[in-house]
Amino acid sequence: MNANRFGDLEVLACSPAGEPRSSTPLLFIHGAYTGAWCWSEHFLPYFAQAGYTSYAVSLSGHGASRRAGVLDAFSIDDYVRDIAEVVARLPSPPVLIGHSMGGMVVQKYLERAQVPAAVLLCAVPPQGLMGSAIGLMLSKPNLLNDLNRILNGGHPDPDGLRDALFHQPIGVDTLMRYYALCQPESHRAIWDMTFFNLPLPALMHRPPMLVVGAEHDQLIPPAQVMMTAATYGEQARIIPGMGHGVMLEHDWRMVADLLAAWLPTQID
């Protein structure tokens, strides 16, 4: 695993031991409150071992990426420009793989540019976050309060983090390590995803797209994943027995295997 800088952006990279199976790299884009580190746990080494040169970017204000000004100044368009900046430095256009907020960033990027393929993992739907917020308000008000606390620079209760990301058991030490890596999110980006800068499907390029959700996702429940898939004329894949943090769940390999089986049908 190599930690690189693409200008002012932190980019983690993991390369195959031998000749890559494809000249098309993979670029992983994290969700809100986190950074590129969430992909380095499992997905980057897994896909490098599968033969793909794999990258993960920390968006502006996240991880070790640029922090010019205040976090709340960063918009979804700023995050889209981050992706464009990284793509411009890669040897060829990548497959974009976005989780949660990162999935929204992928959708907005597709308004501007084409890519070989795209994967939306538990992604914010093109209709925005309002449905998710209302659902949490009714079913999980304490979890909604925890998310608002992180948004405002505080720390959630660790049990709230477990409830937000995980359905499967997770060890206390691992949970607390993830807890320490969590960070606030830009208010502006959250408002963009709720009202002000939603994707415009009529303007988007339409590469091959895989839309994946998790059965027990409290944040982007399966109904919203299916709504996203329907918008783009795709069939949603709902992974059983998993929560929102699919790349960190105990059975993360179920999701990785699904992607690994799908990718060769699109780019090899």
- Residue 184's pLDDT is 86
Distant-in-sequence, close-in-space partners of 180: CB < 8 Å, separation ≥ 6: none
Token reading at 187? 């208010």
Position of tokens 């477990």? Answer: 162
- Residue 159's pLDDT is 72
Phi first, then psi, for residue 56 (nearest 5°) are -140, 130
- Written as one letter, the residue type at 96 is L
- Residue 127's pLDDT is 93
The pLDDT averaged over each successive group of 10 residues in the chain (268 residues) is 84 93 96 96 97 97 86 95 97 97 98 98 94 64 58 62 85 90 90 94 96 95 96 98 97 98 91
Note whether 60 and 88 are within 8 A (CB). Answer: no
Nearest to 128 by CA among 266, 41, 231: 231
Q: How many CB atoms lie within 10 A of CB 265?
A: 10
Spans of all domains in the chain: 2-128+185-267
- Residue 142's pLDDT is 63
The runs of H, that is alpha helices, within 140-216 are: 141-151, 158-165, 172-181, 187-191
- Residue 245's pLDDT is 96
- Residue 114's pLDDT is 97
- Residue 70's pLDDT is 82
- Does this model's pTM top 0.75? My answer is yes
- Residue 251's pLDDT is 97
- Residue 268's pLDDT is 72
- Residue 158's pLDDT is 72
- Residue 209's pLDDT is 98
Note whether 75 and 49 are within 8 A (CB). Answer: no
Q: How many CB atoms lie within 10 A of CB 103?
A: 29
Architecture of the structural domain at 2-128+185-267: 3-Layer(aba) Sandwich (3.40)
CA distance 13 to 40: 9
- Residue 144's pLDDT is 55
- Written as one letter, the residue type at 43 is F
